[in-house]
Amino acid sequence: MIAMKPQSSAPTAGPPSRGVHTYRQQAAQAWTRIDMLVATYDAAIAAVVAGRDLLRDGPGQPLPADRVLRVHHLLLALIEGIDPESGPVARSVEGLLTACLGFVATPNELKWSAAVRVLERLRQGFAEIRAEARRLEQSGTIPPLAWEPCSPGSRV
């Protein structure tokens, strides 16, 4: 399994309200790391497919900047979650995701299609270990997620 980078404990602006605390507890119980990872892959695949389809439908037309930025944001989020020091599998996944960044750096339908294929393959692999990863996280073998607040104005 790929180890995820440990989260830093950033200072908060003050104690959260009771409602926010309850929401965080419920959200933490509902989502596991693997669920979030697969959901992020789903979003990345959808964004790359949408970009690829725009390239197919309008060859020679530039992609809207917001679409390209969304793809980059999602790919970088996936890369940022990898701890390459955890072993060769993590480094391989990091390399494949970095290659996807290279593929989408050019407005070329074939390259964007290659990125889709790589992302779908990676997503499939994580989906196959989903049940085991959930079990390990729920048993405490994989530590539970620690909620870390976003800074004001940041986008997720």
* Residue 35 pLDDT exceeds 90: yes
Query: Among 116, 117, 126, 142, which Cα is nearest to 89's?
Result: 126
Can you tell me the distance from the alpha carbon of 123 to that of 117, in angstroms, rounded to the nearest whole number?
Answer: 10
CB 63 within 8 A of CB 124: no
36 by Cβ neighbours in 10 Å (0-12 / 13-18 / 19+) ranks as: middle
Model confidence at 5, pLDDT cuts 50, 70, 90, reads low
Report yes or no on 78 lying in a domain.
yes
Q: What is the mean pLDDT of residues 86-94?
A: 95
What band does 3 get if pLDDT is binned at 50, 70 and 90?
A: low
| pLDDT value at residue 143 | 79
Domain assignment present for residue 15? The answer is no
Q: 80 versus 5: which is more confidently predicted? A: 80
What is the average pLDDT across 16-36?
A: 67
Span 104-131, pLDDT tens digits: 999 999 999 999 999 999 999 999 999 9
Identity of the amino acid at 94: E
Domain assignment of residue 132, yes or no: yes
Q: What's the pLDDT at 96?
A: 98
pLDDT value at 42 more than 80: yes
| Residue 156, domain member (yes or no) | no
Look at residue 48 and tell me if it is in a domain: yes
Using only the alpha carbons of the chain, give its radius of gyration: 18
Neighbours of 81 (CB within 10 A): 18
Range of the domain at 54: 32-139
Q: Give the CATH number of the domain where residue 39 resides.
A: 1.20.120.340
42 lies in some domain: yes
Residue 36 covered by a domain: yes
- Given pLDDT bands bounded at 50, 70 and 90, which one contains residue 36? very high
Q: How far apart are CA 23 and CA 17, in angstroms?
A: 10
Average pLDDT rounded to a whole number, residues 32-59: 94
Q: Two tokens at 93? A: 């996944």
What is the per-residue pLDDT for 9? 44
- Give the total number of structural domains in the chain: 1
What's the pTM value of the predicted model, to 2 decimals? 0.74
